[in-house]
Amino acid sequence: MTENDSSRAMRRCDSLVVGGGLTGCAAAYYLAKAGLDVLLVERNDLNTEASGRNAGGFHVQIQLEPFLLEGEEWARNWVRAIPLLIDAVRHWETLSGELGADLEVRLTGGLLAAETTEQLAALERKAAIERAAGLEVELLSRRDLRRIAPYLSSALAGGLLCPLEGKASPLLAAPAFARAARSQGARIALHTELLAIERTAAGFRVETSGSPIECERVLDCAGTAVGDIAALVGVELPIESLPLQVHVTEPIAPLVRHLVAFAGEPLTVKQSAHGSVLIGGGWPSELDDAGRADVSLSSLRGNLRVAAHVIPALANVRLLRIWTGFCNGTPDHRPILGELDEVPGFFVASFPYLGFTAAPLLGKLVGDLSRGLAVPYDLAPFAAGRFSTTAV
C-alpha cells in the first residue's frame, strides 16, 4: 500500500491515527508493532508541520516565561508533567537503536543563563520546585558558568544547569518512525483531509477527502489541528496555534556545547551535528494573506541580537536559512492525554510547547491507552475534561 493510496481497500482498520508528525508516526509504529491493523492519515506530507519545523531541543525544565507570568502555584501544578518528560528523554536514548537510524540524540545538558541578581533569584525559586518534582538541576555561579560554558558572555551572572536536556534532529525522527511503522505493516495515507466523524456501534465511520474509513478507535495526534479533529466528534478543546520562526546559521566549528536559554529575553541556541547553529526561543513569525507562517524581520533582528549578546561569537556567523511554522499550546501549558469521556474510543495526545521532547513517548502512551493498557502516570492532570468540552 503506497502512501498516497486512497482506494477502497483502506476503508477498514483497527486504529486510525490522525497526524503525520512525530507523535502520530510513533503511535502508528507502536500499534503496528503490537499487531494491530493501523492506518495513519495526514492532510499534507509527513513531518511538514511542527514536528519538522522546530529546533530539536529536549526541554524538561519549567519554562521560565510562564513561571514568571503565572507564578509558583502554576508551576507546582505543571511539574506533574516532569516525570513524563524525564522518561521521554530516556526513551529518546533508545530510539536510534530501535529504529535503525541515527537520530542525532545528544544529552548535552541545558543551560538557562542569567544576567542579573533578580533573574538568578527567579531561577533559584524555580529550581526548588523542580527538585521537589524529582528533576536534577544545579544552580551555577558566574565562575561555574565560565568554567562549564566559556563561549557564553562574561557579563552573565550565573545560571541553571539541567543535565538531562539536549537535542535530536527534527528532520530525521518522524520519518524514521514512519519507515518503522510501515515495516510493521502500518498503512499511511497522505494528502487526506478528515471531513466528518460519525460514531457507530463498532466504532467510527470517518469521511475524508478520499474514501471513507471504518475503525474501532481514533487517535488524535494532529498537533495544532488536534482541536479541529476533536470538534468533529463534538468536543471543543482549547488548542492554540502559535506562528514561530527559527534561524539557522552556516556550519561552523564546534562552539555551543549545550542547549542554551536566557532568562533576560526569549532565546534558545543549540548546534547541530553538522555544525549549523539553530537560534530560536519562541520569536513569532507573521501570517501572510493565506494564514501561512511567514518570516518576521522584526523577530529576525531581535532573536539574532539576543543570541549575539549571550554568545558573542555568533555575531560574526552568517545566517543560512529561516524556518517558519506553528506550535501548539494549551492555556495551562499542560498536555492533553487520554480518552475523551464524552466519546469512548477517541483518544487525544497533545503536548504543548515541548512537544518534540515528549512526542515519541506520547505516541507510545496513547497507543497503549487505546489498547486498554495501564500507563505509569497519573493522567488526571492531563485529562481533556479539565477544560470546558461542550460543543458549540
Number of H helices, E strands in the chain: 10, 20
Averaged pLDDT, 68-87: 97
CATH no. of 108-164+240-329: 3.30.9.10
Averaged pLDDT, 262-274: 96
Give me the residue label for grid cell 486504529: 15
173-183 and 82-99 helices, crossing angle to 10°: 60
Name the average pLDDT for the chain.
Answer: 95
Query: How many residues make up the chain in this entry?
Result: 392
277 DSSP β-pair partners: 271
Q: Residue 93 belongs to what H/E stretch?
A: helix 82-99
- Annotated domain spans of the chain: 8-52+172-238+332-386, 108-164+240-329
* Three-state SS at 162: strand
pLDDT at 6 over 50: no
Lowest average pLDDT, out of 55-59, 119-123, 128-132, 228-232, goes to 55-59
pLDDT at 45 over 80: yes
- Quote the CA–CA distance of 298 and 300 in Å, as a whole number: 5
pLDDT at 50 over 90: no
Q: ∠ CA 121-334-271 to the nearest 5 degrees?
A: 65
Examine domains 8-52+172-238+332-386 and 108-164+240-329 and report if their fold is the same: no
Lowest average pLDDT, out of 124-133, 285-294, 336-345, 355-364, goes to 285-294
Which pLDDT does position 241 carry in this prediction? 93
Averaged pLDDT, 61-87: 97
- Convert the pLDDT of each residue in 95-124 to its tens digit: 999 999 999 999 999 999 999 999 999 999
Averaged pLDDT, 278-288: 95
188, 178 contact by CB (below 8 A): yes
- Quote the CA–CA distance of 182 and 163 in Å, as a whole number: 35
- Quote the CA–CA distance of 349 and 347 in Å, as a whole number: 7
CA distances from 370 to 19, 216, 348, 374 (A): 16, 10, 10, 10
pLDDT at 388 over 80: no
161, 109 contact by CB (below 8 A): yes
- Quote the CA–CA distance of 269 and 264 in Å, as a whole number: 14
Q: What percent of the chain has pLDDT over 70?
A: 96
Question: Three cell numbers at 348?
Answer: 487525544
- Quote the CA–CA distance of 16 and 213 in Å, as a whole number: 8
pLDDT at 4 over 70: no
pLDDT at 389 over 80: no
Q: What is the DSSP letter of 223?
A: G
334, 81 contact by CB (below 8 A): yes
Q: Residue 332 belongs to what H/E stretch?
A: none
pTM of the model: 0.94
Averaged pLDDT, 119-143: 98
- Convert the pLDDT of each residue in 161-200 to its tens digit: 999 999 999 999 999 999 999 999 999 999 999 999 999 9
Lowest average pLDDT, out of 39-53, 85-99, 251-265, 301-315, goes to 39-53
- 48 CB contacts (<8 Å, ≥6 apart)? 20
Q: What percent of the chain has pLDDT over 90?
A: 92
**Order of strands, edge to edge, in the sheet holding 110-114?**
138-140, 158-162, 110-114, 259-262, 268-271, 277-280, 240-249, 319-329
CA distances from 41 to 36, 107, 304, 349 (A): 16, 32, 37, 15
* Three-state SS at 257: coil
Neighbours of 288 (CB within 10 A): 12
- Name the residue among 244, 243, 270, 252 with its Cα closest to residue 319: 252
- Quote the CA–CA distance of 376 and 58 in Å, as a whole number: 21
Is 8-52+172-238+332-386 a domain of CATH 3.50.50.60? yes
Averaged pLDDT, 26-32: 98
Which pLDDT does position 3 carry in this prediction? 47
130, 160 contact by CB (below 8 A): no
What is the amino acid identity at position 7?
A: S
Averaged pLDDT, 373-392: 84
* Three-state SS at 185: coil
Averaged pLDDT, 358-369: 98
Q: What is the DSSP letter of 353?
A: S
